[in-house]
A and B are shown apart, each in its own frame.
Chain A
Amino acid sequence: MQNISRAEIEDFLFAEADLLDEWRLPEWLELFTEDAIYYVPSTDVAPDASPDKNLFYVADDRFRLSERVKRLMKRTAHAEFPHSRTRHLVSNVRIRNRSENEIEVGSSFITYRTKDGVTDTYFGSNRYRLVAENGNLRIKEKRCLLDSDGLRSQGRVSIIL
């Protein structure tokens, strides 16, 4: 992971955003390692808090993340049926740390979600731990830190941020 450039990481994150916005969630899931985690902490805990000791909004291991994707692709996932339309904007991408096997990346995001004539905005930062598998970047951890005051007035994180 020593030689990878910020431009390559940006391409990866922009591609991830496209998969989410196009509702290609099974393909999006393939970006994650088998031991991956995806966290959205509540907004009154420390950014590095553990979901074993604190109440989060989302704390998925890889199994539950795959179930989340399965769920969201069903008609019976009522919160997202018909699918909302979203746009994930990714910015301020920065390499925070790198080691031989892993790279830590920070980014800022604004995600718009519109459904039934109502548009909500989610904003905050993402912290990624990325690794290389068979020459491809893969996500080992995605921690999504919302800057809003809880989920008022979005009311839910039924999409993937």
Chain B
Amino acid sequence: MNAFQRMNTALMVDEAKQIFKVSRQTFVDPDILEAERAKIFDKCWLYLGHSSELPKPGDFVTRQVGGRNILFARDAKGTLRALSNTCPHRGAQVCREKHGNAKSFQCFYHGWVFGLDGALRSQPGEASYAPDFKERSTSNMQLVPRFEGFRDFNFICFDRNVQGLDEYLGPVKEYLDVIADQAETGMTIVGGTQEYSMRANWKLLTENSIDGYHALTTHATYFDYLKATNGGLAPVPLDGAAHDLGNGHAVLEYKAPWGRPVAQWVPMWGEDGKKEIDRLYQGLVTRYGEERAKRIALYNRNLFVFPNLVVNDIMAVTIRTYYPLAPDFMNISAWALAPKEETDWARKYRLFNFLEFLGPGGFATPDDVEALEQCQRGFRNAAEVQWNDISKGMGKATPSYDDELQMRAFWSNWNKRVFATAI
């Protein structure tokens, strides 16, 4: 019996005493990772990609999702599909390019050719196969069991019997709406992917992505930098709340002093920038009314979708997803999302904003990488020092953006799924 099998919960919770602790075993134990693969990544909706990545018929991208190789393609009629990127014949990856445009896909091993919908079109030596071979669904590249989208965010699930995406996302949809409503003509992924990794457990990045508490210490140099930009900050204090959105999802919604290309002006953007930001804001008011316009423009959102998707609508909008290769190693992919109709001015500042904070070359993310890797090192002492504390804000009716409610929401659902017991 391994350590994991002896556990029936990873949490120590006492609401009355404001105790919420997480076992550090969860970050280091290979048996727990195996359980996470079976009970979380094989069962939950996982983010695949954004519709704007495949604008034209025949466009495709290949990527790894939930440990599988996925071919995400748009067919001649415009239909999007998620295919298992493996030849039904003998297993080779069919498409080996990261992205492109194709009329069909050919497996180079024996030359089988598949349509954009995965259907087998031809194979060398057809006469040697059964007469109905091509009519058999098993001769085609296989569709991922479930594929659904919301507002151009496309998800897959390997469990055929999973609840629909709509129901799974629940209140998350309203926040995705607020983010997508920034644009009049739809949001688009900007060219260029940040692909990186961390020598840390994947759940540390979940916590970190929705952690308002670490900003002023971990990112001290980022705030130094903003002050030095002479006008980089608006007179808006950090203030807001955390919300548990059910199913392990959570969000922070708050005001912050940095500039937002939709639409919070900061002095460093000058008078021309002010005109542009005013124009964008007025557009929002016209489309949605004053109250919603204010929420879209002036509030930031760090949105977490269980188990491994982060959509942060902050000084720029990033989509980030990550997946564990080992208990102490994960791969991360991040994209920038922007309104399609955005002016060159706004796009430039959006990307400028993005890089000063976000990403592995920015002024903040490298310090997050360091923090998470240092936590992972600290977990070598897990046999003696067994618990993480995430009790901050437990006594409050409305926990603040810098409390830890959102992490408790994640861990409660994680625990329920891995141990099949509610806390």
Contact = CB atoms under 8 A, between A and B. Distances in A.
B238 interface: no
Contacts of A151: 194-197, 360
B1 interface: no
A55 B366 contact: no
Contacts, number: 129
Contacts of A156: 196, 360-361, 365-366, 369-370
A152 B197 contact: yes
Interface in B195-238: 195-199, 218, 220-221, 224-225, 228-229
A71 B225 contact: yes
Contacts of A118: 199
Interface string A50-65: 0111111111000110
B287 interface: no
B2 interface: no
Interface string B355-391: 1100111010111011101000100000000000000
B193 A42 contact: yes
Nearest to B363: A71
B197 A155 contact: yes
A44 B193 contact: yes
A55 to B, nearest CB: 3
B196 A152 contact: yes
Interface residues of A, number: 40
A59 B367 contact: no
Interface stretch (A72-80, A103-111, A129-137): A72-80
A71 B224 contact: yes
B225 A55 contact: no
The CB with the most chain B CB atoms within 10 A, among A41, A42, A116, is that of A42
Contact of B348 (A45, A52, A76): A52
B366 A157 contact: yes
A51 B347 CA distance: 10
A62 to B, nearest CB: 13
Interface of B: 98-99, 190-199, 218, 220-221, 224-225, 228-229, 329, 331, 335-336, 344, 347-348, 351-352, 354-356, 359-361, 363, 365-367, 369-371, 373, 377
Interface of A: 40-45, 49, 51-59, 63-64, 67-68, 70-71, 74, 76-80, 116, 118, 149-158
9 contacts: A63-B229, A74-B221, A79-B367, A79-B370, A116-B377, A153-B329, A155-B373, A156-B196, A158-B369
